[in-house]
A and B are shown apart, each in its own frame.
Chain A
Amino acid sequence: MQNLGQVQVNKFTTIIGIVEEAPLKIKRRLLELGLTAGQKVKVLRRSLAGGVLLIEVRGYALSLRRESAKWIEVAK
């Protein structure tokens, strides 16, 4: 199992899904923003302390906390 928070910078990977344990509100927001199963994502950069990620999904740039990214399961 690998989540988006663990992915190397600048490598494309595919989303498997949002895990069951994710809080519903966050889960819905991630889905609305296009982080749906089968989508390709790439981590563009991390913040200095690593708490925030900048990712590329569906052709746009989105930042989110690693705490939220850990709910997103991705392919190894």
Chain B
Amino acid sequence: MKNIVLVGNPNTGKTTLFNSLTRGHEHVGNWHGVTVEEKVGQFQFENQKFSVVDLPGIYSLSPLSFEEKVAVEYLNRASAELVVNICDASNLGRNLYLTLSLIERGLNVLLVVNQIDKRPICKVDYGKLERLLGVRVVHLNADNKKDIEGLKGEITKLLGAGKPSATPPHGCADLPADCASSFNQAKKLLQERGVPYEEQAYYAIKLLEDDEEAKAKFKVEMAFGQCEKIAGWRYDKIDKILAQTCTKNQRVYGKSKLDKIFLNRALALPIFLGLLCLVFYLTFFSFGGWLSDCLSGFIELVFNPAKTFIANVYGTQSWVYSLFADALFGGVGAIVSFLPQVALLFFFLSLLEDSGYLARVAFVFDDLLSRVGLSGKGVYTLLMGFGCSTTAVLTARNMEDKNSKIKTALLTPYMSCSAKFPIYAVLGGVFFGANNLFVIVGLYLLGVAVAILLSWVLEKSVLKSKAQSFILEFPPYRMISPKRTLSVLWQNVRLFLSRVGTLIVAMNVVVWVLSNFTITFKFVGNSGVSMLETLGRILAPIFTPLGFASWGLVSALLAGLVAKEVIVSSVAMFAGGQTLASALFTAGSAVYLGSGGAVLSYLAFCLLYAPCLASVGVLIKEIGGKWTAIGIAIQLAVAYAVSFVVYTTSLALSAFGWWATLISLFALAVIVASGVLIAKRIKGKRLCPYSSKCKKSCNKKR
């Protein structure tokens, strides 16, 4: 089997090409840094097997952020027989910079010029480009089947011909005179250290650029300080090539008249918030709500006869009936009806991503996010968090320094993920009815507010971040194609159903067993205490101050640690024969909540308390066990505190009325604020004489 690797600048269509070649379904988007890890796939052409690796986008072989490191390390480590370098036809000049670096590296390069936009900015003479670059050039549209077949043929032909000569076609012979002596000096240093001849030129250039890794690898301390000259040399070459091969029109890649609206100083924020509200409204209420109602009607239509049938055969008191009626039909049914809403949410998120609007959001929010030590690029991670934290955490690799990456990853679970929405809809819906819209929007905002506040606290204390550069290329606005729409919807429906069909069903059965059998494994029926009830009752006192101490709710939270959907299905299961509405308000029932304040407190706790098992796994992989543990501890503490405040406030409201509560809250805020100010003053005075980096505001206090 021959190995091929896909390399290119961010957002040039690598993953689209990868999907086309391998018939894969990897996530793509009109944004830089969607792909953050290497993905492997295969294809077959004329009885030959090829393995393809898709890498995150890079601008050069000197990485800046974590996902770029993944790509460069792969290129340095693995020996691919062919490097397929993808360029965007509309931004060829900038894209060719990487191509030249790859050629200098002595890699076997096939240049693929991807024409994403129908009206290209450049008209290119591809034959001439091929001659000038000295590598094979193919131009195609990565979405076009015929083009892909052509590319496969080209790849087969190139790999059949074997590796080209070791001397790279462009070499480094044309280095400007003032670099040549340093180049020879660097080469000599490398020769002394036993670097093989083929790699000397490449690493010599790296040394001229003062590349930290090359310097460490070969123990070179000397600084050449010539990265400006090297970049100038490469771009001069590119300019010469483009002058002969490309006729450009006046359009600027990524510049759009739409930005006058979307980036307008006054309108940008209201437009973003408005769009977000619209997305939530369409997904959770109007259209999505209607679809969901239809589906739950359909589910009842199927499940009710089945339930009656089982009741007739086994009787309603048997464990078989309980398993099917409570755990499978009641529990799983409660989740399946949210399928349309979850799919819609992911669809809207992909719309935001594909349209190119997200880069604009990042631009608008960087001002705010830079103040709490994040980057505008974090917007992508946080928005993806509304879909699924597990996949979103990975995209924190877009960050450049470690502390920002840890922070971004830790904040992701505060974004209310799609699995938490059913909890708000079911429990909130029972108590608040139509007003539940405000409750849900409030909860989403609460998550975001807590995340930003926490980021600020972390920035000021243990996770001070180095300045992020936020160097982000603006992608052009693009229309989303119907084909892609369908594929996004289908992928998410499939993922959701397979998740419900495996993990959620399994968890429901586990919860059912624990809640229907005693410790001695006797079926509980109407009397007796189940295992889960025993455990729940032990833990319940901890939650009394938060307003929900019934064992069912507490054990639902425990089950929810595995997957958040299980909270709703467990609560539905524990309600037993009663409707949820009556169970929530019957004192003594397993899921007694009683008041609106208690419902809000429970919902806030569900929003904040801990990431699901899958997210924890990814967090450990990405930021290490220590920070994951700290993150979970913080989440538990924050959830407890927020729920306590919510419940106590609601109690105060009902006891003293609006005004007294408002006044006492205000007084409390004043006390806290003055405490913080005093602490800051004392701390400022103490720190000042030592700190050489003293800021202006600090000087005044001296």
Contacts and interface: CB of A to CB of B under 8 A. Distances in A.
Interface string A24-40: 11111111111011000
Given A24-B227, A49-B367, A62-B472, 9 more contacts: A25-B62, A26-B471, A32-B231, A44-B255, A48-B265, A56-B252, A56-B255, A59-B93, A64-B469
Given A60-B94, A60-B253, A52 B367 contact: yes
B255 A61 contact: yes
Contacts of A68: 469-471
Contacts of B227: 24, 27-28, 31
B469 A58 contact: no
- Size range of the chain A interface in the assembly: 35 or more
A2 interface: no
Contact of B228 (A37, A48, A65): A37
A18 B253 CA distance: 24
Contacts of B362: 63
Given A62-B474, A65-B468, A68-B469, A52 B97 contact: no
A48 B94 contact: no
Contacts of B467: 65, 67
B218 interface: no
Given A32-B60, A32-B231, A60-B254, A51 B370 contact: yes
Interface in B631-688: none
Given A29-B59, A54-B363, A62 B235 contact: no
B573 to A, nearest CB: 49
B525 to A, nearest CB: 64
Nearest to B58: A32
Contacts of B471: 26, 29-30, 33, 62-64, 68
B189 interface: no
Interface string B540-573: 0000000000000000000000000000000000
Interface string B340-353: 00000000000000
B121 interface: yes
Contacts of B64: 25, 29
Contacts of A17: 228
23 contacts: A24-B212, A29-B59, A29-B62, A29-B469, A29-B471, A36-B232, A36-B235, A37-B232, A51-B366, A52-B376, A54-B259, A54-B263, A56-B252, A59-B93, A60-B252, A60-B474, A61-B252, A61-B474, A63-B376, A63-B471, A64-B469, A65-B468, A68-B471
B474 A36 contact: no
The majority secondary structure among interface residues of chain A is: mixed
B242 to A, nearest CB: 10
Contact of A31 (B228, B248, B265, B376): B228
A27 B225 CA distance: 11
B252 A59 contact: yes
Nearest to A52: B366
B231 A36 contact: yes
Contacts of B268: 48
A59 B366 CA distance: 24
A47 interface: yes
Given A47-B364, A48-B364, A59-B93, A34 B62 contact: no
Interface of B: 59-60, 62, 64, 91, 93-94, 97, 121, 209-210, 212, 227-228, 231-232, 235, 248, 251-255, 259, 263, 265, 268-269, 359, 362-364, 366-368, 370, 376, 467-474
B93 A34 contact: yes
A64 B640 CA distance: 39
A64 B359 CA distance: 12
A59 B228 contact: no
Contact of A65 (B91, B93, B366, B473): B366
**10 pairs of A and B residues whose beta carbons are closest in the complex:** A61-B254, A31-B231, A60-B253, A61-B474, A49-B367, A51-B367, A32-B60, A61-B255, A68-B469, A52-B366
Contacts of A48: 265, 268-269, 364, 367
A30 B94 CA distance: 12
A29 B368 CA distance: 24
Contacts of B59: 29, 32-33
B305 to A, nearest CB: 59
Interface string A1-16: 0000000000000000
A65 B470 contact: yes
A63 B97 contact: no
Which one of B64, B227, B235 has the greatest number of beta carbons of chain A within 10 Å? B235
B611 to A, nearest CB: 30
Contacts of A37: 228, 232
Contacts of A31: 227-228, 231-232
A9 to B, nearest CB: 12
B60 A28 contact: yes
Given A34-B235, A60-B94, A65-B370, A52 B363 contact: yes
Contacts of B469: 26, 29, 64-65, 67-68
A58 B93 contact: yes
A60 B248 CA distance: 12
